[in-house]
């Protein structure tokens, strides 16, 4: 029966557009807890104070869902067919081209939980996508949906790393998947390509306070002058460590219309971005994750790139 339920949930996830899915036993993560504590003690979370909150819940999903037995990890592709046309225009990370993934994936997860409860029974569970204290990449690794690469991103050998991660934590026992082997080998392209040296010399450890994504999204204060000429023209997020990753040669175009960009977004030129107004910002990013920076935050980033 456990295999039947596992196969049925897997098939339903694929029907909803998820690319990969895996199951892991819900339990306390001792090794990951020590690694998180080390990362926090080093101050690598910068101003992301929330990363230090709810430590006990972050390392044990049973504190998020009473009686939890399984953490289901789902990967949803967001790799776009096209990118920005003007090579001199300030750049936006690919994940933010379309609608905010929080809302798109949360709706899919809601449908999936509904299916489970209708067809299996009164299952207690919660859905998450970057919306709670969960070590998403660690659960993804444990569930066999990829390995955590030297750039600290989850990598799947068939399609690379351009994925959103989402989770269901259920009080339902299922057939658990085994972790996947690490295939980074001796490659260090992401380490060498990072312009701010945010990735540790041997990889697998990220100083978040140096990451361009942190500087352009999470940091509320002025971007330190130290990073002048190191931003590689990124105004929202950064894809450098994904662009150089050999595994992303297998990336495939997503099939989710909600992740398609606004019709004019990719055509805007450098001068258009320099002269962007509040009205244009609101039109372009009405449903986008870019709204997180607000207009003044994005303008700050653009001005920092072009003083």
3-state secondary structure string across 227-269: HCCCCCCEEECCCHHHHCCHHHHHCCCCCCHHHCCCCCHHHCC
Q: Is the pLDDT of residue 140 over 80?
A: yes
Supply the range of the domain harboring residue 56.
2-86+94-170
Report yes or no on 286 lying in a domain.
yes
Tell me the per-residue pLDDT of 184-223, one tens digit each, with 9 for 90 and over. Answer: 999 999 999 999 999 999 999 999 999 999 999 999 999 9
Question: Is the same domain home to 166 and 193?
Answer: no
Write down the pLDDT at residue 102. 95
pLDDT exceeding 90 applies to what percent of the chain? 89
d(CA 171, CA 122): 10
Question: Is the same domain home to 157 and 205?
Answer: no
Report yes or no on 182 lying in a domain.
no
60 an active-site residue? no
* Mean pLDDT score of the chain: 95
Given a contact cutoff of 8 angstroms between Cβ atoms, the answer to whether 208 and 174 are in contact is no
Question: Is the same domain home to 273 and 211?
Answer: yes
Q: What share of the chain is helix, strand, coil (3-state, %, to 5)?
A: 40, 15, 45
pLDDT band at 111 (very low <50, low <70, confident <90, very high): very high
Q: Is the pLDDT of residue 51 over 80?
A: no
Cβ count within 10 A of residue 7: 12
Report yes or no on 203 lying in a domain.
yes
Question: Is the same domain home to 277 and 156?
Answer: no
Phi, psi angle pair for 72, to nearest 5°:
-100, 125
Write down the pLDDT at residue 145. 98
Write down the pLDDT at residue 73. 98
pLDDT band at 17 (very low <50, low <70, confident <90, very high): very high
Report yes or no on 178 lying in a domain.
no
Q: Is the pLDDT of residue 54 over 80?
A: no
Question: Is the same domain home to 129 and 243?
Answer: no
Report yes or no on 175 lying in a domain.
no
Q: Is the pLDDT of residue 53 over 80?
A: no
Q: Which residue has the higher pLDDT, 142 or 132?
A: 142
Identify the residue whose tokens are 């030129």.
269
Q: Is the pLDDT of residue 256 over 90?
A: yes
Domain count, the chain: 2
Tell me the per-residue pLDDT of 65-85, one tens digit each, with 9 for 90 and over. Answer: 999 999 999 999 999 999 999
Q: Is the pLDDT of residue 95 over 80?
A: yes
Report yes or no on 136 lying in a domain.
yes
Report yes or no on 180 lying in a domain.
no
Q: Is the pLDDT of residue 131 over 90?
A: no
Q: What is the pTM of this model?
A: 0.95
Phi, psi angle pair for 40, to nearest 5°:
-65, -45
Write down the pLDDT at residue 121. 86
Question: Is the same domain home to 123 and 39?
Answer: yes
- What average pLDDT does the segment 21-46 reach? 91
d(CA 119, CA 92): 41
Question: Is the same domain home to 163 and 196?
Answer: no
Question: Is the same domain home to 117 and 151?
Answer: yes
Selected catalytic residue, list 60, 130, 182, 260: 130
pLDDT band at 86 (very low <50, low <70, confident <90, very high): very high
Question: Is the same domain home to 204 and 136?
Answer: no
Question: Is the same domain home to 142 and 34?
Answer: yes
């Amino acid at each position: 029966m456990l295999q039947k339920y596992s196969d049925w949930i897997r098939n339903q996830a694929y029907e909803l557009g998820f690319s990969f899915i895996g199951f892991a036993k819900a339990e306390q993560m001792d090794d990951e807890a020590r690694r998180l504590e080390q990362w926090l003690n080093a101050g690598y979370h910068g101003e992301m104070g929330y990363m230090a909150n709810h430590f006990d819940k972050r390392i044990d999903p049973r504190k998020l869902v009473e009686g939890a037995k399984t953490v289901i990890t789902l990967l949803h592709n967001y790799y776009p067919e096209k990118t920005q046309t003007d090579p001199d225009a300030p750049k936006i990370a690919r994940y933010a081209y379309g609608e905010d993934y929080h809302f798109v994936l949360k709706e899919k997860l809601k449908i999936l939980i509904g299916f489970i409860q209708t067809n299996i029974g009164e299952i207690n569970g919660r859905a998450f996508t970057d919306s709670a204290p969960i070590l998403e990449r660690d659960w993804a690794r444990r569930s066999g949906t990829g390995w955590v690469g030297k750039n600290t991103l989850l990598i799947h050998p068939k399609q690379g790393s351009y994925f959103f991660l989402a989770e269901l934590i259920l009080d339902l026992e299922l057939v658990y998947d085994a972790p996947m082997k690490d295939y980074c080998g001796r490659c260090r392209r992401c380490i060498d390509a990072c312009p701010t040296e945010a990735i540790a010399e041997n990889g697998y450890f990220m100083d978040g306070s140096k990451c361009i994504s942190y500087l352009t999204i999470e940091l509320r204060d002025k971007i330190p002058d130290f990073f002048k000429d190191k931003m590689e023209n990124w105004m929202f997020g950064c894809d450098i460590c994904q662009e150089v990753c050999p595994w992303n040669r297998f990336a495939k175009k997503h099939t989710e219309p909600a992740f398609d960009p606004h019709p004019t977004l990719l055509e805007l030129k450098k001068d258009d971005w320099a002269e962007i107004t509040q009205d244009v910002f609101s039109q372009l990013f009405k449903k986008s994750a870019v709204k997180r920076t607000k207009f003044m935050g994005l303008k700050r980033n653009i001005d920092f790139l072009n003083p």
